[in-house]
A and B are shown apart, each in its own frame.
Chain A
Amino acid sequence: MLLQQLINGVALGSTYALIALGYTMVYGIITLINFAHGEIFMAGAFVGLLAVSILKLNIFVAMLLAMVVSMSIGVVIELIAYRPLRRSSRLSALISAIGVSIFLSSLALMIFGADAKGFPSTAFPVRQIKVGEAEISSLQLLIIGISALLMMGLEFIVKKTKIGKAMRATSEDYNTAALMGINVNRVISFTFALGSALAAAGGVLVGVLFNAVSFNMGLMAGLKAFAAAVLGGIGSIPGAMLGGLMLGVTEVLGVAAGFSSYRDAIAFTILVLVLLVKPTGLLGRKIQKKV
């Protein structure tokens, strides 16, 4: 029974982790909570849905398409809503982010209407696989597998590639990175692209998992992923992965223990507790104020 809940929790948590990574990477570089990130996740889910139901694409191709489209959305949002405010107060950028978030969800409401749409049942054949006492569905396996693959890919990019190293350098010291000849604007665009692609993949996976894609799905998922990023330590990539998984497992265990009506409250209780007890999160570094 516990094993079953753990599997469910890890699958759900992987999707939180995918979204949380975008929050944490963007925060690490420009210290902005990108409140439009949840809507990028929603946009990814819609692109995936359209690709499967209208273009009749295979779910994997649809996911790739969703990632590419969301990437462009993320980059464009940064370009028009955040970059002009780079030298203004942090609050201005935050307000701009909230504005973009409202704009995107309203746009989705206008285009797709208010009802949740489901993926066609042929999108991904679900089979149950027995693992000892527990059952794991092929869908959960897909979610965990794809999330793991994407996170390993991210780890490789950040640790080994030139642009990934530039991301780390910029997040450590923005000005010095510029002094070393790093085009910080390009690094920031790249960061938004990466985060948005991961969120889009999460969007498609969540859309298939709950068989529902709606204009407001980004709100709750975004807030929970934000809580996961804070739990892991905002700015820390491994922290976002860990925080997402822990949040998913806690939520599922909480529901299993009979607190199902408090399902959404669990994430925010964790958020408040982390901010009270250890604001830097599990793996976060102490943030030094730059003079």
Chain B
Amino acid sequence: MLRVENLSVNYGAIKALKKVSFEVKQGEIVALIGGNGAGKTTTLNSISGILPIHEGKILFGDKDLTRIPPHEIVKLGICQVPEGRRVFANMSVLENLEMGGYSISDKKAVSEGIERAFTLFPRLKERMKQLAKTLSGGEQQMLAMGRALMSSPKLLLLDEPSMGLAPMLVEKIFEIVVEINRQGTTIMLVEQNANMALSIANRAYVLETGEVVLSGIAADLAQDPEVRKAYLGE
């Protein structure tokens, strides 16, 4: 479904990604793990088209995404939940969801999408008139996910959904991620919380200073002594 080949991205003189290649197949949950500054967010932002890439290809189906503007990429079926949630703080919950459905011109489809988001996250329905900045961290994460789902993406990119959340909430969020995947959305998950990520992913890639250093079945990686030492705190 998504194939990234030899992707390199530079920030000025700094090489953030060096010839990164990976693949996401239809129906999978693929985790991209690694420490701070490994290039995880850079990878997602290149896929979403908000970063200019230096070289390489990003193929979605048989379409190369590298010259396509971000809003067209959303239309093709890739949506991202950015790191730190980035809800529109001074807009209401409802307006945030509407923005997620911006690419849909059919008004009925938008209100159906909002209903779906409310079924998945009933808390959002209770707070639909509130400004997003008044929500708790967990609720904001739910809103960010609900907002991204509005465009009915085929591939959902999740950037650090566990960031800054209490352990109980993290589990809840990951349960929802699995549920979203079960309903047919392919997921690419970026996480520093490698333990949680590997527990729900099918496959995973380990990124270190801009390079893929390990890849494989998530369950195998979770047993790998190197991974356990570097990312699982053993």
A-side interface residues toward B, CB under 8 Å? 162, 165-166, 168-169, 172-173, 175-185, 285
- Taking a contact as CB atoms under 8 Å apart, the answer to whether A178 and B90 are in contact is no
A183 and B88 in contact, given A162-B102, A178-B50 (Cβ under 8 angstroms): no
- Taking a contact as CB atoms under 8 Å apart, the answer to whether B71 and A183 are in contact is yes
Q: In the bound complex, what is the Cα–Cα distance between A125 and B102 (angstroms)?
A: 47
- Taking a contact as CB atoms under 8 Å apart, the answer to whether A166 and B102 are in contact is yes
Stretch touching chain A among B72-80, B177-185, B187-195: B72-80
Q: Which of A165, A175, A180, A184 has the most CB of B within 10 A?
A: A180
B150 to chain A, nearest CB (A): 8
What residues on A are CB-neighbors of B100 within 8 Å? 180-181
B200 to chain A, nearest CB (A): 23
Contacts of B63-88 to chain A: CB distance below 8 A = 69-71, 74-75, 79-80, 82, 86, 88
Q: Which of B49, B82, B86 has the most CB of A within 10 A?
A: B86
Q: In the bound complex, what is the Cα–Cα distance between A222 and B70 (angstroms)?
A: 35
| Interface residue? B147 (CB, 8 A) | yes
- Taking a contact as CB atoms under 8 Å apart, the answer to whether B50 and A175 are in contact is yes
- Please give me the residue from chain B that is nearest to A183 by CB atom: B71
- Taking a contact as CB atoms under 8 Å apart, the answer to whether A173 and B71 are in contact is no
Q: In the bound complex, what is the Cα–Cα distance between A178 and B50 (angstroms)?
A: 8
Q: In the bound complex, what is the Cα–Cα distance between A168 and B88 (angstroms)?
A: 9
Besides A165-B95, A178-B50, A178-B71, 11 new A-B residue pairs in contact (Cβ under 8 A), listed by A number? A162-B98, A165-B98, A165-B99, A168-B90, A169-B88, A175-B82, A178-B48, A178-B49, A179-B50, A180-B147, A185-B69
3 A-B pairs with the lowest CB-CB distances in the bound complex, closest first: A181-B74, A181-B103, A178-B70
- Please give me the residue from chain B that is nearest to A168 by CB atom: B91
What residues on A are CB-neighbors of B232 within 8 Å? none
What residues on A are CB-neighbors of B151 within 8 Å? 180-181
- Taking a contact as CB atoms under 8 Å apart, the answer to whether A181 and B75 are in contact is yes
What residues on B are CB-neighbors of A179 within 8 Å? 48, 50, 70, 74, 79-80, 82
What residues on A are CB-neighbors of B50 within 8 Å? 175, 178-179
A181 and B79 in contact, given A162-B102, A165-B95 (Cβ under 8 angstroms): yes
What residues on B are CB-neighbors of A166 within 8 Å? 99, 102
- Please give me the residue from chain B that is nearest to A159 by CB atom: B95
Interface string of B145-184 (1 = CB under 8 A from A): 0011001000000000000000000000000000000000
Q: In the bound complex, what is the Cα–Cα distance between A165 and B92 (angstroms)?
A: 11
| Interface residue? B109 (CB, 8 A) | no
What residues on B are CB-neighbors of A172 within 8 Å? 88-91
Q: Which of A180, A185, A285 contacts B99 (CB 8 A)?
A: A180
Q: In the bound complex, what is the Cα–Cα distance between A183 and B68 (angstroms)?
A: 12
What residues on B are CB-neighbors of A185 within 8 Å? 69
What residues on A are CB-neighbors of B88 within 8 Å? 168-169, 172-173, 176
Q: In the bound complex, what is the Cα–Cα distance between A40 and B186 (angstroms)?
A: 49
B45 to chain A, nearest CB (A): 8
Q: In the bound complex, what is the Cα–Cα distance between A168 and B69 (angstroms)?
A: 20
Q: In the bound complex, what is the Cα–Cα distance between A183 and B105 (angstroms)?
A: 13
A39 to chain B, nearest CB (A): 30
- Taking a contact as CB atoms under 8 Å apart, the answer to whether B90 and A181 are in contact is no
Q: In the bound complex, what is the Cα–Cα distance between A183 and B100 (angstroms)?
A: 12
Q: Which of A168, A175, A181 contacts B102 (CB 8 A)?
A: A181
Q: In the bound complex, what is the Cα–Cα distance between A184 and B69 (angstroms)?
A: 10
The 16 listed contacts between A and B (C-beta, < 8 Å) are: A168-B95, A169-B91, A172-B90, A176-B88, A179-B48, A179-B50, A179-B74, A179-B79, A180-B74, A180-B102, A181-B74, A181-B79, A181-B100, A183-B69, A184-B71, A185-B69
Interface string of B127-149 (1 = CB under 8 A from A): 00000000000000000000110
- Please give me the residue from chain A that is nearest to B104 by CB atom: A181
Q: In the bound complex, what is the Cα–Cα distance between A261 and B150 (angstroms)?
A: 59
- Taking a contact as CB atoms under 8 Å apart, the answer to whether A182 and B102 are in contact is yes
What residues on B are CB-neighbors of A173 within 8 Å? 86, 88
What residues on B are CB-neighbors of A162 within 8 Å? 98, 102
Q: In the bound complex, what is the Cα–Cα distance between A177 and B89 (angstroms)?
A: 12
- Please give me the residue from chain A that is nearest to B48 by CB atom: A179
- Please give me the residue from chain B that is nearest to A87 by CB atom: B52
- Please give me the residue from chain A that is nearest to B74 by CB atom: A181
A73 to chain B, nearest CB (A): 25
Q: In the bound complex, what is the Cα–Cα distance between A18 and B107 (angstroms)?
A: 33
- Taking a contact as CB atoms under 8 Å apart, the answer to whether B74 and A177 are in contact is no
- Taking a contact as CB atoms under 8 Å apart, the answer to whether B86 and A176 are in contact is yes
What residues on A are CB-neighbors of B86 within 8 Å? 173, 175-176
- Please give me the residue from chain A that is nearest to B132 by CB atom: A172
Q: In the bound complex, what is the Cα–Cα distance between A172 and B87 (angstroms)?
A: 9
Q: In the bound complex, what is the Cα–Cα distance between A177 and B100 (angstroms)?
A: 9
- Taking a contact as CB atoms under 8 Å apart, the answer to whether B71 and A182 are in contact is yes
Q: In the bound complex, what is the Cα–Cα distance between A168 and B48 (angstroms)?
A: 21
Q: In the bound complex, what is the Cα–Cα distance between A182 and B74 (angstroms)?
A: 9
